[in-house]
Structure 1
Amino acid sequence: MSESNEIDINSLHHIVLRETESDSILEIDPNFYRNLSDFIGNLRKQEFDGVENKIKDTMIEMAIELTSLLIRIRLEKISKSSDLEISHLLDEEKFIFDSQEDEKERIEMIISAIINGKSKFLESLAQNHKTKKVVIRFLNEVDEIVGADLEKYGPFKTEDIATIPYENAQALIAKNIATKVHWED
């Protein structure tokens, strides 16, 4: 690993360029994304006036674009690779890759159920998905609702947080009445 732990816009550009020029996933510092996050976070915290502030904003924009490009390039290599070098994946990429594997398994499970006549299984799967609980934050007041699980929820005030069935949450989110809550450690 030739990258140092210190990230700046030049080192980020260099890493993206190297990754673009290679057919395989390159080995980079295991803390790369965390260091990159620190770099961008520190840039955002800096306060400047005038031209210096525009330069800072441009650097942040460049870092964001390069980060997005790097992740997309590496994930594309992962999806196309038949002999994936798992040790070169960073933990954050493994997290994304795991969700893609789950997606593939779900697709196969649905196809198998359909072609093997397991309609009861599909019905059960659909019902479980509709009623799985989702945490949302209300953006507007909402009267009591009956959930997809036939339980009563609410009433809710603006900024209330509640756990309700997925189907109901999606309907409220689509109407901009609520937003999904993403838990962060």
Structure 2
Amino acid sequence: MVDSADSKEVVLTYETLYEVLRREKSKEELQKLDKNFFSDVLTYLREKQKAYDESLSKNDVFSIDEREKLRIQLSNIKRILKDLYDIRERKIIALSVNRSRINSDVVNTTNLLDEERALFDGLVAVLQVHRKGIINKILDLRKPDISLVQDKPKPKDTNKKIKRVKFLDKIEQFVGKELELYGPFDKDDEAKLPSEIADILIKQGKAVDV
């Protein structure tokens, strides 16, 4: 499924994928996609590949012509997806640079997919490490030293509250504030999570307190 300005959900087709790419190319900001975009794309690709594989056993004129159309379409779909990924990747890198520079939530990350969030958080962490270890030290008249920043242990929050939740839907793997990984979780799975994260999932209707 793909979010659009006219409809919240649109059946994934070659035409809608092309429109997603066109919109991403024409806008400076990262565009909104359905949260299940990658899984929907994978299902769509598998269906096309299955149709192509089944056509290999048919040798009549119509099937040969249809097989060639499927081959070309598969190739075009993969090219569209790669172009889309490359464009969004560049935008995510730019967002990461902005976040690391101003260290503020003013950078809009609402259109990041769950899979892209891990990339964004990882880039921000790396950029901040080098910013602290290089330019911040130079401005303080000290020698740059990345190792000190990287090896500095983080104080453990012994008072961090934990909540046990039950998931109401499938949740892909995501990254916490300190780059810790959670998930993936299936529907009806239960897990103990930091209260802050649990409260967000509960508020979004993705989990309930147990």
**TM-score (normalizing by structure 2):** 0.49
Tell me the residue number matched to 1:102.
Answer: 125
Once the two structures are superposed, the pairs formed by residues 114-153 of structure 1 within 5 Å of their partners are 116=143
> Equivalent of 2:28, from 11, 20, 23?
23
Tell me the residue number matched to 1:142.
Answer: none
User: Aligned equivalents of 2:25 and 2:145: distance in 1?
Assistant: 45
Cα pair 1:28 1:88 within 8 Å, conserved? yes
User: Aligned equivalents of 1:12 and 1:119: distance in 2?
Assistant: 42
User: Aligned equivalents of 1:7 and 1:37: distance in 2?
Assistant: 11
- Structure 2: which 5+ residue stretches go unaligned? 57-63, 99-105, 152-184, 186-210
User: Aligned equivalents of 1:35 and 1:119: distance in 2?
Assistant: 41
SS of 2:110's partner is helix
The alignment-based identity, stated in percent, is 19
Cα pair 2:133 2:145 within 8 Å, conserved? no
> Equivalent of 2:17, from 12, 27, 37?
12
Change in 2 beyond 3 A, CA 1:119/1:40: closer
One-letter amino acid matched to 1:84: V
Change in 2 beyond 3 A, CA 1:32/1:113: same
Range 61-70 or range 83-92, more displaced: 83-92
Aligned residues: 126
Change in 2 beyond 3 A, CA 1:79/1:118: closer
User: Aligned equivalents of 1:118 and 1:11: distance in 2?
Assistant: 49
Tell me the residue number matched to 1:151.
Answer: none
Cα pair 2:32 2:111 within 8 Å, conserved? yes
Cα pair 1:113 1:121 within 8 Å, conserved? no
One-letter amino acid matched to 1:48: S
Question: What are the superposed Cα offsets for residues 128-170 of structure 1, whole Å, 9 maximum, x if unpaired?
Answer: xxxxxxxxxxxxxxxxxxxxxxxxxxxxxxxxxxxxxxxxxxx
**2:80 counterpart of 1:66:** yes
Change in 2 beyond 3 A, CA 1:116/1:42: same
Tell me the residue number matched to 2:65.
Answer: 51
Cα drift, residue 57 of structure 1: 2.0
Specify which structure has the bigger relative contact order, considering alpha-carbon pairs within 8 angstroms and separated by 6 or more residues: 1
**2:114 counterpart of 1:91:** yes
Q: Which has the higher helix share?
A: 1
- Structure 1: which 5+ residue stretches go unaligned? 126-184
